[in-house]
Every structure is written in C-alpha cells, then in structure tokens.
Amino acid sequence: MSTDIFKVTEHTAPASHIREYPGSTARSQEEALSLHVKQYTPLDQDHITSSDAITVIAAHACGYPKELYEPLWDEVYRRLKHNGVHIRSIWIADAPNMGMSGVLNEDKISLDYSWIDSARDLLLMINHFRDQMPRPLVGIGHSFGGNILANLALMHPRLFTTLVFLDPTIYPRPVSRGVGIDPPGAVNYTLWRPDIWPNRKAAASAHAKAWRHWDRRCFDLMVKYGFRDLPTALYPTIPAGANRSEPPVTLTTTKYQEVAGLYRSNFSARASGGIDRSVHPDMDPIYANRIVYRPEPRNTFSKIHHLRPPVLWILGAKTFLGIDNLREAIKVCGVGVGGSGGTSHGQVKEVILPERGHLFPFEDVNQTAGYCAAWLVQEIGKYRESELVWNKKRSSMTQRDHLVYGDDWFEAIQMPKTLQRKAKL
C-alpha cells in the first residue's frame, strides 16, 4: 500500500484564470476554482542524497479518481529504487470538475470543460509548489491525462525531462461518438448509468463485473474514492428509510461532469445558422456537422510534431482509441521544429500490451510499472550525463562571464561602419 512507502500530503491549490470556455463556471467567469492535490513522498527520502531524484507530475484519466494510480506508484517506486533512481515526490491533481477537486468546486462549476485548462492548471500548480519540485521533472499521463501533459509540454518545452503516455487521447481521426448510427460508447453508458446506490457495498457489487479484470488494489481504491456519501450538491437529500450508518452513495465525479470531459455539445451543427463561433471557437471542420465533439485529441495531434521531451507511448492492444489511430501520432511525435527528433532519433518509443484495453493501468499494474520504470531509468541516465557536461562548462565561468559576451560574439557580429569611424577619431 502507498502509505507503507509514501507519506501522503494533501494540498489545495488554485486553478488557472481565465477558463477556456465561459460556460466552465456556474456564475461569474472570474470564479476562482481549486485543485485537490496529493503529494506522495517516499518515507525513505531522508536517506536520499541524489540531487537528481525525480519529481513526477501525473495526470489521471477522465472520470477516474487520482488515487487509483497509487498501486502504480508503489510498483514504479520499487523498480526505480532497485535501479538507483530515486523519487523525490509524485504530484497528482484531480481535474477541477472531477474527484475531490469537483467536490471542492461543486457550487462553482458548470458543464463545459476544456482539457487545455487542466494543462494550464498543472503549470500553475508546478509554479505554486516550485520549491518542492526541483529538476528533473517527468510526466506520466493516462488517457486524457496524456493529452493534458502533452499540451503542458508544448506550452513549456523544457519543463519535462521525459514523458510517459498511457493510451493517450492524441489522434487524427475521431473515434466512435456513440451518437446517431454509431455503436454505443463510453458517453452512452456514462450519461445513462445509474448513479445512486443504497450503500458503498451495493455500489461495489454493481460494478464488480465491469471491473473484474482490475488489480484488486485498484478496485478497492475505486470503491473508496470513486463514490461519496449522500447528501451532495447534486443529491441534497437522503432517501427516506436510508441507513445513516451506511448511507447511500453516488459518484464522486458526477456522471454529468464525466460526460463534460468526454464531449462538448454542438447541437447547432444541423441548424440553418451553422456553427456559433462565440461558443465553438475551436471547431475543426472535420467536426462541423457533428452534434458532439472533442477538439483536443485532433488539435493536439496537429502540434505533436513539436513535442520536445522524449516520450514512451504505452498502448493497450484492444484500446477503443484504435492502435492505427494512435500510431499516426507516434509516427510524427517530435519530428517538427523544436521537437525531440522522434522515433528515428530514439526519442519516441512505442510499447503494446497484448490483450489489454484502455484501462490497462488498473488491470496490469506490474507490467505497466515495469515499462514506465525501464524508460525512466534510461532517460534519467541521459539526464545525468548531460548535467555533468553542463555543470562542468558552467563551473569554469567567472562572474563577469555572466555579465558580458565573450570574444566570439564580437568576432561574429561586425561593428557598424559608423561606429568604426567614431572609434578612429
């Protein structure tokens, strides 16, 4: 369990200002939202002397509590320690409308959510806790969490030493939307699912089949953190006859906020007036006639060639996102101006987990941790080498060297002729 390995510290941090969509907040657009953050610090950190102990910034999947990744952190920690790489802290925040962040903000949030806001939120969080987050920073993101970290790295290319994407939602072609003639998908089951159960045990029993392939640790954490006792803002009254010692429960992330994370509405798509750019400024032409859409996967795909950090992509062979769809993104990741160089330079790598779907971090914790740790060991080894070279170069500089350019600048940049004449007088 994480508490045997980590000291777990809870924080509340501000979310970014202004939000991407005016409908993100319930009342004022200046409403200040908060993030619920957990920091996992190894209990043996007192023995860490390495200045290159890593700071992990993690991002969860849509609708899933941040605590579900605790078994993954345990296993990654063990493997890294065995290979001489230390963790300084792992930081993860619920999106502002999900998990405990959603509870903090439930009287402030509305039903329009942008993934890009979460990238900005994490940048603000990192600056907020900067004293506890020395380099190197590495990012691990699952599903839309991978997309969020990609956008954070595109905003700040040198922030992360490396990234690990776990089945990230970055692709060129839309996946099935579950509307019209499409077969039912996540959004159908989310919007129409029951969301009140007589007690926590009943909620666990109701989901036992859906989560039957999960690691037992993840299942137990979902039962603990994925549900909350009534009353809530959504359900302010407890049903008559309920057992108050084992009260009814609902979803911690409401099903409506999970749908808001999956899609935005575009119900005017088939109207004579067409797209309303005041509320759909990010509309891609490929989505223009669709009644629901999500701009970030394709938008991020269009920029992924500029991604600078080295990236390991771990994919489930049976992911609903489509392996070929994701491989289109892997193919171009980092190959553009300012990028890492991509697969041809060994900066981008793909791993496929056979027989696994989109939720493999909860199903095959050990294998996921093994690939994460092996990649981090490799990349931190490169980081150590580059730091030695840089520090050796900088240590030879005097204080004046930091104030005045050296002779190479004056040799490269010619003096204007007017100044040459003045120098002769």
Quick: pLDDT tens for 29-82. 999 999 999 999 999 876 666 788 999 999 999 999 999 999 999 999 999 999
Q: Specify the DSSP element, H or E, that contains 301.
A: helix 296-301
Q: Bridge-partner residues for 14, per DSSP? A: 34
Task: Taking residues 354-375, report their average pLDDT.
Answer: 98
Tell me, what's the pLDDT at 291? 84
pLDDT tens digits for 119-131? 999 999 999 999 9
The mean-pLDDT minimum among 10-24, 155-169, 175-189, 245-259 falls in 175-189
Catalytic residue among 94, 117, 121, 167: 167
Q: 156 is written with which tokens? A: 């700040």
Which residue's entry shows tokens 């409401």? 254
Q: How confident is the model at residue 424 (pLDDT cuts 50, 70, 90)?
A: low
Active site residue 118: no
- Which residue type is seen at 280? H
Task: Taking residues 338-349, report their average pLDDT.
Answer: 97
State the average pLDDT for the chain. 94
Above 80 in pLDDT, residue 182?
Answer: no
Catalytic residue among 142, 280, 358, 364: 358
Tell me, what's the pLDDT at 389? 95
Task: Tell me the domain boundaries of the chain.
Answer: 6-176+294-384, 387-423
- Using DSSP, state whether 5 is helix, strand or coil: helix
Above 60 in pLDDT, residue 100?
Answer: yes
Q: 196 is written with which tokens? A: 């009140």
Q: What is the DSSP letter of 185?
A: -
Active site residue 143: yes
Query: Domain 6-176+294-384 belongs to what topology?
Result: Rossmann fold (3.40.50)
Tell me, what's the pLDDT at 61? 98
Q: Would you list the DSSP string of 215-237?
A: -HHHHHHHHHHSEEESP-SSS-S
Catalytic residue among 34, 110, 143, 340: 143
Torsion of CA 60, 162, 327, 266, to 10 degrees: 40
What totals of helices (H) and strands (E) does the chain contain, helices first?
15, 13
Above 60 in pLDDT, residue 181?
Answer: no
Above 80 in pLDDT, residue 335?
Answer: yes
Which residue's entry shows tokens 């989560």? 211
Nearest of 319, 329, 265 to residue 294 by alpha carbon: 265
Tell me, what's the pLDDT at 50? 78
Task: Taking residues 259-275, report their average pLDDT.
Answer: 81
Tell me, what's the pLDDT at 174? 83
Tell me, what's the pLDDT at 254? 98
The mean-pLDDT minimum among 70-79, 242-251, 309-318, 345-354 falls in 242-251
Q: Would you list the DSSP string of 392-411?
A: HHHHT--TGGGTS--HHHHH
Active site residue 396: no
Task: Taking residues 88-101, report their average pLDDT.
Answer: 98
Task: Taking residues 207-229, report their average pLDDT.
Answer: 97
Above 70 in pLDDT, residue 315?
Answer: yes
